[in-house]
Amino acid sequence: MIIDRFYKEGLADLKNTTNINLRIDNIIIGQSIYTMKGINRNFDDMNFCLLLLEDAYGFSYFQEKPDLKLVQQCVNKNISEIMSFPKIPTYFKVALVDAMCCLANKNNAVTYRYFIGNLRSKANQRANELIKDIPPKSKVLLIGAVTEIIEAAHNRDLCLSVTDLEYKKVNLKIDGTIIGDGINKTLEKLKHSDYAIVTGMTFSNNTADDIIKVCRENKTKLIFFMETGANFGNKLINYGAEKVLSEYFPFYDFCGNTKFVVFKK
C-alpha cells in the first residue's frame, strides 16, 4: 500500500531530525453528520480521526466504526512504534502518516493561500480551484460526490460522471447528474476518463492504490482534493498525480479561514 511506503519514508525523513517530540498527546474521534446543498437529507457516513502531537497533527475521514480500544492504547505512545501494533485500521495509519509528514514539512518553504467566507462560499472556491485547468468537453470522473464540484464542472462544460461509496448517495441526482455506485463502477469509469477528481478519503477506505494504478495505465490525469492526508498531498505528485489541493483543516467541520496549498506536476 502507498500509505505504508509513506510511513517508511516519513520515518526516514525524521530519523536525523533533532528536538522533535513523536509522542501522541491526544486523539479525537468524532462523527460528522452533514447536509449536501440541494439534497433534503442528512448523511452520517463520515467519522474523523484527529491525532495531535506536541507540534504537529494528522487527520483522516473514514466510514468504518472507530476502534476506541486501539485509540486508548495509542495515546502517550511514540508514533514510530504504532505501526507494529496488530490490526491497525487504515484510517489510523493515514492520520499517523499525516502527522509524520506534518513534522517533516515544517522545513519546506510553501506559500499558503486561503478559502474565506461562509461554508458554501469556500466550497465554491475549492471547486473552481480544482477544475480551472481542465479543458471544456473533457471527460471527468468525480470520485466522492460534492455538489459544488458538480456544479462547477457543469459550468465549465465538462462531461462529468460521479461515483460515491456511500450507498445513501447512489442514484441521487445532483444538478442533473446521477451518482453512480462507487464500489462497482469507479475503476471501469476511470479507464474512459480524461481526468479524475478524487477525494483524499480514498486513502482511508483502501481504494486509492487501485485508483492511482488505473489512472496511470490509462493516462487519466489525476487531481486529488486532500482534507484527509493533507500533509502528504505533496508526495502524490511523485506517484502520478497531476495536481493536489491540500486543505488544512476541512472547512465542513472546522470554522475559520481554510489554509490550503496546490501542488502540480
Could you tell me if 130 and 95 lie in one domain? no
Q: Is the pLDDT of residue 15 over 80?
A: no
Report, as an integer, the average pLDDT of 124-129: 97
Residues 15 and 131 in one domain: no
Q: Determine which of 72-86, 157-171, 173-187, 236-250 has the lowest per-residue pLDDT on average.
A: 72-86
pLDDT at 171: 96
Q: Do residue 33 and residue 162 come from a single domain?
A: no
What CATH number should be reported for the domain holding residue 142? 3.40.50.11590
CA-based nearest residue to 197, from 250, 127, 249, 115: 127
Q: Does 234 lie in the same domain as 136?
A: yes
- Determine the Cα–Cα distance for residues 144 and 131; give it in Å rounded to an integer: 15
The C-alpha atoms of residue 246 and residue 227 are separated, in whole angstroms, by: 6
**pLDDT level of residue 27 (50, 70, 90 thresholds):** very high
Q: Which grid cell sits at 238? A: 511523485
Domains contained in the chain, number: 2
Same domain? For 14 and 54 the reply is yes
Residues 146 and 248 in one domain: yes
**Are 136 and 83 members of one domain?**
no
CB-based burial, 124-158: b 16+ in 10 Å, e otherwise: bbbbebbbeebeeebebbbbbbbbbbbbbbeebeb
Torsions phi, psi of 98, nearest 5? Answer: -60, -40
Q: What is the reported pTM?
A: 0.94
